[in-house]
Structure 1
C-alpha cells in the first residue's frame, strides 16, 4: 500500500509540473475506520498560488474479480462535498452523514485543472457483532437452574470429600491404638504372670497368719 501511494504521488507531481500549475499536495490520511451509521469526513489537501482547484471525488471499490475501478462519487442527501481553507492550505471535503458498509473503499481526489489524483484515504466501515443465539425465557431459566445445581455440587463435593477423609483418619487412629494395646499384651510373659500371682497369694496368706498370731 505504501509503495502504491508513493507511486501515485510521484505520478501526480509529474502531472502537475506538466500542466504548468504550481500545486503542492499535502499528505492524505491513509485510512479512516468508522462505525456503521456514523458520520465520516474525508479530506484532500493541497497548496497552490492560484484559486481553488476544481476537484472530483472518486472511489475505488473492490469488486468480486479483484480489480479496483475508480467510480465518481455521486452527491446525495447522505453524501456532500465542499472546500475549506486554513493557513494557505485548501482542502476538498467529502462528508457522509451516515456511512454504510457499501461505502467502504479507497477515496481519492481528482484535480480537474491540474489533472492530478491524490493518494487517497481508505474508508473502512465496520459493523459490530450481533447476537447469533436467541434464547427463550424457558431456556434461560433452565440454564440458571443448571448453574445453581453446578454451584451446589461445587460446595457439597469438597465438603463430602473432607468428611470422608476425616472418617478414614479416625478409623486409622483407632486401628493404631488397637494394635498398640495388642502389642502391650503380647509383650507380657504368662509364666511371669503366674509367678506374680503366686507371690501375691503367699503375701496375702502370710498377712493372715500374722493377724491370727497377734490375736490372744
Structure 2
C-alpha cells in the first residue's frame, strides 16, 4: 500500500512539474523591409532554470520542413530575463529576403518539450523611385497642376458666357430684320400722297359749304364731293 501511495505522489509531482512552463503570447506576424533590422521574441516562465531554448524555422512549401536557425553573421540569439520571465530573442541585422519564414521557439527541459506559438516573418523589397526629383521640381509640378486645374474650371464658364452673348446678339439682329421686313413692301410715294389727302380732308372737311362763299365762287374752284 505504501508503494502505491509513493507512486501516486511521484506521478502527481511529475504532472505538476510538467505544467509549470507557461508560454507568453507571441507576435503572430511581422513584416519588414529588406536591409532593416528585425527582432523576434518568445517569452515564458518556468520553475526550473535548465530550460534550453532553440529557434526553429518552418518553410511554407508543399512538404512542411523545419530546421534549426543557424547563427550567421547577421543572425544572433540571446536569452534574457525580464520582469520574472525569460525571453529568447532572435535578431536579424539586417534582415534578408531569404529570412522569410515561420519561426518558433523549441523549449526543452528535463522532462518536457514544447513549442511556442510562433511568428511569421515576411521580408519584402521596397519599390525604388523611378524618378529622382528634387523638392523644387516637385513644387513647380504642383504649381503647374494647380494652374491647369484652375483653367479647367474657368474655361467652361467663359465659353458659356461667350455663347450666351452671341445668342443675345443674334436675337437682336433677328428682331431688327423682322422690323425691316414689315416696311419692305410699302411704297413711300403712295404713303406720302395718301397722308396729304388725309391731312387736307381733316383741314377742309369732306364737303365745302357753297352757300357762304358766293362772292368768291368765280375765283375758287369747288371741290367735288
Task: Report deviation, 1:67.
Answer: 2.7
Unaligned residue ranges in structure 1 (runs of 5+): 1-15, 136-143, 206-216
Q: Give the TM-score normalised by structure 2.
A: 0.61
**Two-structure CA RMSD over aligned residues (Å):** 4.0
Tell me the residue number matched to 1:79. 75
Query: Which structure's relative contact order is higher, taking Cα pairs within 8 Å and 6+ residues apart?
Result: 1
Bigger shift: residues 171-180 or 100-109: 171-180
Task: Report deviation, 1:181.
Answer: 4.6
Separation of aligned partners in 1, 2:70 and 2:37: 17
Any idea what SS the aligned residue of 1:167 has?
Answer: helix
Tell me the residue number matched to 2:60. 62
Separation of aligned partners in 2, 1:160 and 1:27: 67
Separation of aligned partners in 2, 1:25 and 1:201: 130
Provide, for residues 3-60 of structure 1, a one-character-per-residue CA deviation record: whole Å limited to 9, x for no partner.
Answer: xxxxxxxxxxxxx959846211111111112122111111111111111511110111
Task: Report deviation, 1:102.
Answer: 1.4
Q: Give the TM-score normalised by structure 1.
A: 0.64
Change (3 A) 1:107 1:177: same
Tell me the residue number matched to 1:171. 170
Separation of aligned partners in 2, 1:20 and 1:157: 81
Separation of aligned partners in 2, 1:73 and 1:18: 31
Bigger shift: residues 109-118 or 36-45: 109-118
Bigger CA radius of gyration: 2
**Which one of 125, 128, 140 corresponds to residue 127 of structure 1?**
125
**Which one of 96, 99, 102 corresponds to residue 100 of structure 1?**
96
Separation of aligned partners in 2, 1:106 and 1:50: 28
Separation of aligned partners in 2, 1:91 and 1:156: 66
Any idea what SS the aligned residue of 2:58 has?
Answer: strand
Paired residues of 1:103 and 1:125 also in contact (CA < 8 A): yes
Higher helix share: 1
**Which consecutive segments of 4 or more residues in structure 1 shift more than 6 A?**
190-193, 202-205
Unaligned residue ranges in structure 2 (runs of 5+): 1-13, 133-140, 205-225
Task: Report deviation, 1:167.
Answer: 2.7
Separation of aligned partners in 2, 1:127 and 1:166: 60
Number of residue-to-residue matches in the alignment: 175
